[in-house]
Chains A and B, each alone.
Chain A
Amino acid sequence: MDDQVAIEKCRAGDHDAFRHVVERYQAEAIGHARAILHNREDALDAVQEAFLDAFQALGRLDLTRPFYPWFYIMLRNRCYKLANRRRKRETSSSDEMQILTPTSSIPPEDTMLLEKAMLELSADDRELITLRHLDGLSYQELAERLEVPQGTIMSRLYYSRKKLREKLERHSFTRISRG
Chain B
Amino acid sequence: MAAMAIADGYQSEWSSAQIEAHLAVCADCRQEVGEMRGLTSLLDAQVRRTETEDVWRVVERQLSKTRTSPRAHDLRPLLLCGVLLIGYRIVEMVPDRDFGFLFKLLPVLLVIAAFSYLRENPFKINTELRLEGE
Residues in A lying within 8 Å of B, measured CB to CB = 10-13, 15, 18-19, 22-23, 26-28, 30-31, 34, 40, 44, 47-48, 51-52, 55-59, 77, 80-81, 84, 97-101, 103, 105-106, 110-111, 114, 129-130, 132-135, 138-139, 148-150, 152-155, 157-158, 161-162, 164-165, 168, 175-179
Contacts A106-B42, A154-B5, A179-B37 known; A19 to B132 CB distance under 8 Å? no
Secondary structure at chain A's binding surface: helix, strand, loop or mixed?
helix
User: Looking at chain B, what size class is its interface with the partner chain?
Assistant: 35 or more
Query: Which residues of chain A come closer than 8 Å to B44, judged between CB atoms?
Result: 133
What's the least CB distance linking B59 to chain A, in Å?
5
Of B48-56, B93-101, B107-115, the one contacting chain A is B48-56
In chain B, positions 105-134 with a C-beta closer than 8 Å to chain A are 127-128, 132-134
Query: Which residues of chain B come closer than 8 Å to A59, judged between CB atoms?
Result: 70-72
In the assembled complex, the Cα of A134 lies from the Cα of B67 at a distance in Å of 34
Query: Which residues of chain B come closer than 8 Å to A11, judged between CB atoms?
Result: 69-71
What's the least CB distance linking A114 to chain B, in Å?
7
Contacts A22-B56, A55-B63 known; A81 to B128 CB distance under 8 Å? yes
Query: Which residues of chain B come closer than 8 Å to A28, judged between CB atoms?
Result: 51
10 cross-chain CB contacts under 8 A: A11-B69, A18-B59, A19-B56, A52-B66, A55-B63, A84-B127, A101-B50, A130-B48, A139-B5, A149-B133
- Which B residue's beta carbon lies closest to that of A16? B60
- Which B residue's beta carbon lies closest to that of A139? B10
What's the least CB distance linking A155 to chain B, in Å?
6
Contacts between chains A and B (CB distance < 8 A), count: 160
Query: Which residues of chain A come closer than 8 Å to B56, judged between CB atoms?
Result: 19, 22-23, 26
The reply to whether B54 and A26 contact each other, CB–CB distance below 8 Å, is yes
The reply to whether B62 and A134 contact each other, CB–CB distance below 8 Å, is no
Identify which of B43, B52, B59, B60 contacts A27 (C-beta below 8 A): B52
The reply to whether B39 and A77 contact each other, CB–CB distance below 8 Å, is no
Q: In the complex, given contacts A19-B60, A27-B51, what are 6 additional A-B residue pairs having Cβ atoms less than 8 angstroms apart? A: A18-B63, A59-B71, A103-B45, A110-B42, A134-B48, A154-B10
The reply to whether B59 and A22 contact each other, CB–CB distance below 8 Å, is yes
In the assembled complex, the Cα of A148 lies from the Cα of B132 at a distance in Å of 6
In the assembled complex, the Cα of A101 lies from the Cα of B71 at a distance in Å of 40
In the assembled complex, the Cα of A55 lies from the Cα of B65 at a distance in Å of 14
Contacts A13-B69, A154-B10, A165-B35 known; A101 to B49 CB distance under 8 Å? yes
Q: Counting CB contacts under 8 A, is B79 at the interface?
A: no
- Which A residue's beta carbon lies closest to that of B48? A134
What's the least CB distance linking B132 to chain A, in Å?
7
Identify which of B1, B42, B51, B69 contacts A176 (C-beta below 8 A): B42
The reply to whether A52 and B1 contact each other, CB–CB distance below 8 Å, is no
Query: Which residues of chain A come closer than 8 Å to B66, judged between CB atoms?
Result: 52
Contacts A77-B128, A106-B46, A134-B48 known; A55 to B67 CB distance under 8 Å? yes
Query: Which residues of chain B come closer than 8 Å to A176, judged between CB atoms?
Result: 35, 38-39, 42
